[in-house]
Structure 1
Amino acid sequence: MNMRREDNNTIVISGNVVNDEYYVKEFKSNKDTDGKLLKLKLHNTSGNKHNYFDIALWNANAQFILKKVKKDDLIEIIGHLESGSYSKDNEKVYFLSIVADRVKIIKTAFEDELDEKRAIVAQAYSNASKYKEVDIPTAESLIED
């Protein structure tokens, strides 16, 4: 009996894109397929702790990020974890990467700014309704007196 599940290596993470500058590396293969690796940093807050995550995106997901996503946009990544190793200065270095399978924009920074401005206007209207209406003299009524 196979106890392995298809989704046993799935990670879902959301956060704000830290900046507009990404690490991009293009690959050419002899099979006429080009690859693009893009790495970005996501910031999210868990309680009072700030977390920064490096996310690896390939090809279509990388293109989507480059064309559509800006700094401070809130995005969701559905992906998987990959581990590996490499040699550096004659020592083996182990790493764990988050690799994006799907990317979704939850809220753009522009939409977030609009929401903040709408909240300010709504607060101003609610504060204005606390005051009683008063008769304000017009220029004509002042001249007639």
Structure 2
Amino acid sequence: MSPKRIVLRFGTDSSVKPIVYRLVKDYDLVVNIVKADVNPQKEGTMVLEVSGERNEEGLNYLRSLGISVQDLNQGIVRNEEKCVMCGACTGICPTGALYMERPSMEVHFDGDQCIVCLLCTKVCPMRAMEVRL
């Protein structure tokens, strides 16, 4: 079974709970934390890859805690016609999905590494990085 990619959004009440531990122990799920971000107010987001026979039960557990669970079904694409290879996106990409190839100085995009954080869409001056739904 291939892993399901999900985005969790949680508040202060959920950030102190061992939610990943419970998914593994209680629901026998395999969990890979792709990205996690918790702000000083203890609110945050987490991108997970989850696989196992009891996926839906585990996700329902998270929802019962008030955690927003969304499928990561959107993606980022680079519009080749708009891109001017400035490289602004490469410095902000947390996973290295966007990188500058040397010596050609061409921007390359590895969609498999992308976690759809949307940072590239905000910094691209040409708006070449686009959200695909």
TM-score when normalising by structure 2: 0.25
Higher relative contact order (CA 8 A, sep 6+): 2
Structure label with greater radius of gyration: 1
